[in-house]
Amino acid sequence: MWSIIKKEVRTYFLSPIGYVFIGAFLLMSSFFFYMYVYTQGILEFSYLFYYTTELLTFTIAILTMGMFAGERKNGTETLLLTSSRSITSIVLGKFFAALAVIVITEIFSLIYYAILCFFAGGITNLPETITTLIGFLLVTMSYIAFGMFISTLTENQIIAGAATIVLLLVSWFIPNLSSSLEIISPIILFQKFPGGLIPIKETITLLTQTIMFILFTIIIMQRRKNLK
């Protein structure tokens, strides 16, 4: 699996995908930073990061749309499925490679926290910052798993990307129909993380979503392999 992770990470950064994702995320984060910190004087990293987490809905598709759709489009899926590596290791390798790009992005985003600490005259709101970053990572894992699953359903990367964005947007508004549906909305589940404590229920739910869509992806790819 480690070799797959290294290969996929190299692919992200030997192509524009990784740079586009990180650049787009930081560019939009800088806009929110200007709007809420520079303009309104809000010196709370957790407040800022709530809005940057919403950006994932639109940017995560950049990482996930080509995971398997690209393999089918380029005709390399057969080589992938007939290799000696297990489907589980392939799926997990792609998942962790995308997660590595997110971790790099999250590290870059700490520059905003450093600036806030500078303006505040020292380290500020550290517990809230840590739980916010943990929540961001958990939401990202759920989004990656979902986008990866969508990528297995088509060979068209544009369709995979658009479907991922649309369905994640739908998850924003579904809780308006019933509060019981909040469990399927990662962005709603994230809202308690900036409070400085790690909410157990929300953490378990996000991890469950991640595992569920990873398993769905493995099942679909294993079935496709059996048909080869």
For residue range 125-178, list pLDDT tens digits in order.
788 888 888 998 999 999 999 999 999 998 889 999 999 999 988 888 887 777
pLDDT tens per residue across all 228 residues of the chain: 788 888 888 888 888 888 888 888 888 888 877 777 667 666 677 767 777 777 788 888 888 988 888 878 777 777 777 777 888 999 999 999 999 999 998 888 888 888 877 776 666 778 888 888 899 899 999 999 999 999 999 888 999 999 999 998 888 888 777 777 778 888 888 888 888 788 999 999 999 999 999 999 999 998 887 776
With a CB cutoff of 8 Å and minimum separation 6, the contacts of 27 are: none
Domain positions in the chain are: 2-227
Q: Is the pTM of this model over 0.85?
A: yes
The count of other CB atoms within 10 Å of the CB of residue 191 is: 15
Give the largest CA-CA distance in the chain.
Answer: 62
Q: Give the Cα separation of 92 and 169 in Å (integer).
A: 25
The count of other CB atoms within 10 Å of the CB of residue 134 is: 13
Cα 143–chain centre separation: 5
Task: Give the pLDDT of residue 103.
Answer: 92
